[in-house]
Amino acid sequence: MTDSRLAQLSVVLFEAQNPVNIAATVRAMKNMGVSSLRLVRPCLYDPVRLEGIAHDTWDIINGIQHFDDFDVAVADCVRLVGYTARRRAAKWRIMDPKEAAEDALGYVGEGRVGIVFGREDHGLPNEILDRLHAVVTIPTTDHASLNLAQAVLIALYELHLAAGDATRVLPGPRKDAPTPTTDLFERYFTELHNALDSIQFFKTRFPEHIMRSLRAITFRAAPDERELALLRAMSLEIVRFLERTGRVERSLPDDVSPRPPRHITGRDTSGH
């Protein structure tokens, strides 16, 4: 029987290149009680072959969702935890698999949580890592490269243990207001970028580096929906003020609101 907390998890594979690894991921999910798999621009594969490699997993295979865009794939998630082979120089929050499992399960009462893995050859690119609330590295020897499916199995094993440990007290909801979805955060970061650009904040700076630091600060602060709406309103008002005073050309429609719907339905090309 699948733990209700595990039912709120989605494994997200970004540009998986090998059908065997997709099949092994499905098998690991079946073993550990996770059923939701989302594939972003995967390689071509035969569902029958997947089931031939991962026996008795049609329930998971038939439910696989396919997406052309990562942001659409994770738009409804309130937490994104991604795995990478090595520590990076950027300011992402780094966890080990056990810490990541506790972190992820601490959010399943508030919405869906995405467990993200990258390509077999290059892992997750920086633009995807920027969207993660936490980055996970698996402790190894100097040879840090793990097979994709091995990394998935380790991640799900820790989640399975954490969910099944009745003595472990997992944190409850952090605030009275809901946790923002990834979609709401991405709208805010776009609006913040536009506001900073409108005041020429990036004139002598690298926008990518500045925005990466601001993302890290925002995710550490963990604003709820009300707080994020305030930050969005501030960003929008900066641009509107400059428009009203004639300092920049008009760029925002009158009906832009800092309170979009909690969930969006993106283009989901489910099927095989």
Q: Is residue 51 part of a domain?
A: yes
pLDDT of the residue at 86: 65
Q: Is residue 40 part of a domain?
A: yes
265 pLDDT exceeds 70? Answer: no
Q: Is residue 88 part of a domain?
A: yes
Query: Lowest-confidence range among 56-60, 85-89, 214-218, 255-259?
Result: 255-259
Higher-pLDDT residue of 254 and 195 is: 195
Q: Is residue 184 part of a domain?
A: no
- pTM exceeding the 0.75 threshold for the entire prediction: yes
Q: Is residue 140 part of a domain?
A: yes
Higher-pLDDT residue of 264 and 182 is: 182
pLDDT of the residue at 260: 43
Which domain does 124 fall in, by range?
6-164
Q: Is residue 235 part of a domain?
A: no
272 pLDDT exceeds 70? Answer: no
pLDDT of the residue at 186: 94
Which of 192, 97, 93 lies closest to 133, judged by CA?
93
* pLDDT tens digits, 133-183: 999 999 887 776 789 999 999 999 999 999 986 445 555 555 678 899 999
**pLDDT-above-70 percentage for the chain:** 82
The DSSP-derived string for the chain is: ---TTGGGEEEEEES---HHHHHHHHHHHHHHT--EEEEESPPP--HHHHHHHSTT-HHHHTT-EEES-HHHHTTTEEEEEEE-SS--SS---EE-HHHHHHHHHTTTTTSEEEEEE-BTTTBS-HHHHTT-SEEE----SS-----HHHHHHHHHHHHHHHHH-TT------SSSSPPPPHHHHHHHHHHHHHHHHHTTTTTTS-HHHHHHHHHHHHHHH---HHHHHHHHHHHHHHHHHHHHTTSS---S-TT--S---S----------
Q: How far apart are CA 192 and CA 207, in angstroms?
A: 11
Give the mean pLDDT of 116-141. Answer: 91
C-alpha neighbours within 13 Å on the C-beta side of residue 152: 32
225 pLDDT exceeds 70? Answer: yes
Give the mean pLDDT of 81-101. Answer: 81
Give the number of domains in the chain: 1
CATH of the domain at 88: 3.40.1280.10
* pLDDT tens digits, 169-218: 555 555 678 899 999 999 999 999 999 999 889 887 789 989 998 998 99
Q: Is residue 24 part of a domain?
A: yes
Q: Is residue 264 part of a domain?
A: no
